[in-house]
Amino acid sequence: MEWEIVIGLEVHVQLSTQSKLFSGASTRFGAPPNTQACAIDLAMPGTLPVPNEQAFRYAVMFGLAMNAEISKRSVFERKNYFYPDLPKGYQTTQLAEPIVGAGEIEIHLEDGSSKSVRLHHAHLEEDAGKSLHEDFQGMSGIDLNRAGTPLIEIVSEPDMRSAAEAVAYLRKIHSIVTYLGISDGDMSQGSMRCDANVSVRLKGEEKLGTRTELKNINSFRFVERAIKVEAQRQIDLIEDGGQVVQETRLYDADKNETRSMRSKEVANDYRYFPCPDLLPVELDDDYIEAIRRELPELPDAKSARLAGEYGLSVYDADQLTQERASADFFEAATRQCGQPKLVANWMMGELAALLNRKEIGIEQSPVSATQLAGLIERIVDNTISSKIAKQVFEAIANGEGDADTVIEQRGLKQVSDTGAIEQMVDEVIANSTAQVENYRNADEAKRPKMMGYFVGQIMKASKGQANPQVINKILKDKLDALL
């Protein structure tokens, strides 16, 4: 039997407004507990919400970037449930009339293909606080700093057919919100959170299978693993004659398994109704158009432009533009050294490996765009070889200064002086009588390959600094003279 996985994602993105959605309290991350919760966030009696205009601006920016309809009128509703970190006993959110309607985006997959994913809608809502269950001797602590922080919840149609597609979609959302500057998109701090609705069906079947909802998967990697393991669980269950139960499940990253979270989920009745403390928000065309005019260049446009302007492959351009910081890095370095292809190769090679190793983003890169460009300039003008350049790159990453400083201090300048190289060639030939003998007796065709040994010895003698082209020429002349 061939199975098809069907995935829809609900992505919560924390908007990087200065203050909360309905109060003036700060949204800064990492403050001591309950120092950023004002009377409104604490739901003190008689306090009232006032909408944050910046949150609407951000939501409209997002909608426009998703090619979505922007609602001229949106309405906040109350979603009622009791929980200690939900101070009002309801969450203020949007349901029937969300700010962003249906839309569509293109996602790019690793095999170079693209696919369109439909957006069902996106709405504005406030975040809850945090319940802390450790360190309180069996009691729970509540931190309301996060309570009231603005979120947009982005709900896709069930258009994704593999974990890889889900990740590509999530990366695209991440890329759009960070390009727009409406969120830092930091999944580790909860600025972007993802719930996945997963179901399976036999290929060719039109009816959707029963879905489960995977809650709060907090990294790209876990999204992929959680979906895979949950889809497999469902397939195994059905193949063993069982049935999937509609429920919320939690992904346990340590055990790489999902498990049921709440069995009474179905019984929840949130009793939504329009919030009488807030009026419907009405936006006019001028407001929306003004925001449209101020939109920054978005990933797809930037990728196309880089491919065209700098002659990059579509794949390279896509990779480099996935994050705005990466695209900015590329453009800054290229502007300086004029070598787009080399910059791209270094960014996707050495730099990517370095960042991966250190588990940091390009924003924290220990090698700046200026430093990378400086390094490339020294390769292009033959001051150093590509091989030495890797050594210089590591030194820059270790904080030894820029390329020129490292080359100078470590004495890594490439030797192109034919006299010096000639001397090294002579020495190596003199010390390699057996290899020289072999070379002389070898077939004409095999000789070029055999030169590698001599080149290696000479590079070693020069500590890698000898210009390989110069070595090659002198060496060949000298060896051929011995024939």
Partner 1 sequence: MHQLTIAEIIKGLREKQFSSVEITRHLLERIQQQDARYNSFITVTAEQALAQATAADERLAAGKAPALCGVPIAHKDIFCTRGVRTSCGSRMLDNFVPPYDAAVVEGFERAGAVSLGKTNMDEFAMGSSNESSFYGPVKNPWDTSRVPGGSSGGSAAAVAALLCPGATATDTGGSIRQPAALTNTTGVKPTYGRVSRWGMVAFASSLDQGGPIARTAEDAALMLSVMADVDPRDSTNLQRPAEDFTRDLGQSISGLKIGVPKEYFGEGLDSATGERVQEALREYEKLGAQLVEISLPHTHLAVPAYYVIAPAEASANLSRFDGVRYGYRCENPADLRDLYMRSRGEGFGEEVQRRILVGTYALSAGYYDAYYNKAQQVRRLIKQDFVQAFGQVDVIMGPTAPSPAFALGAKQADPVSMYLEDIYTIAINLAGVPAMSLPCGTVDGLPVGLQIIGNYLDEARMLNVAHQYQRATDWHKASAV
Positions touching partner 1 (CB under 8 A) are 39, 42-51, 78, 80, 82, 84, 87-90, 142, 269, 271-273, 276-279
356: exposed, middle or buried (Cβ count in 10 Å: 0-12, 13-18, 19+): exposed
Q: CA angle, corner 157, sides to 279 and 325, nearest 5?
A: 80
Nearer to partner 1, 78 or 172 (CB): 78
Helices within 148-255 (DSSP H only): 163-180, 220-239
Closest distance of CB 273 from partner 1, Å:
6
Is 22 or 329 the residue whose CB approaches partner 1 more closely?
Answer: 22
Look at the block and give the residue holding tokens 């900015």: 328
CB of 125 to partner 1, least distance (A): 15
Minimum separation from the CB atom of position 271 to partner 1 (A): 4
Question: What's the closest the beta carbon of residue 278 comes to partner 1, in angstroms?
Answer: 5
Residue number, 220 or 272, with CB nearest to partner 1: 272
Extract long-range pairs of 339-346: CB within 8 Å, 24+ residues apart.
Answer: 339/376, 339/380, 340/306, 340/310, 340/311, 340/312, 341/310, 341/311, 341/312, 342/376, 342/379, 342/380, 343/372, 343/373, 343/376, 344/310, 344/312, 344/316, 344/320, 346/372, 346/375, 346/376, 346/393
CB-wise, 113 or 268, nearer to partner 1? 268
Q: Residue 50 CB, nearest distance to partner 1 (Å)?
A: 5
257 torsion bin: left (phi>0), alpha (psi -120 to 50), beta (else):
beta
**Least distance (Å) between residue 59 CB and partner 1:** 17
Q: Which of 73, 114, 53, 72 lies closest to 318 in space, CA to CA?
A: 114
278 or 450: whose CB is closer to partner 1? 278
Which residue has tokens 């490439």?
Answer: 414
Considering the complex, state which of residue 87 and residue 209 has its C-beta at the smaller distance from partner 1.
87
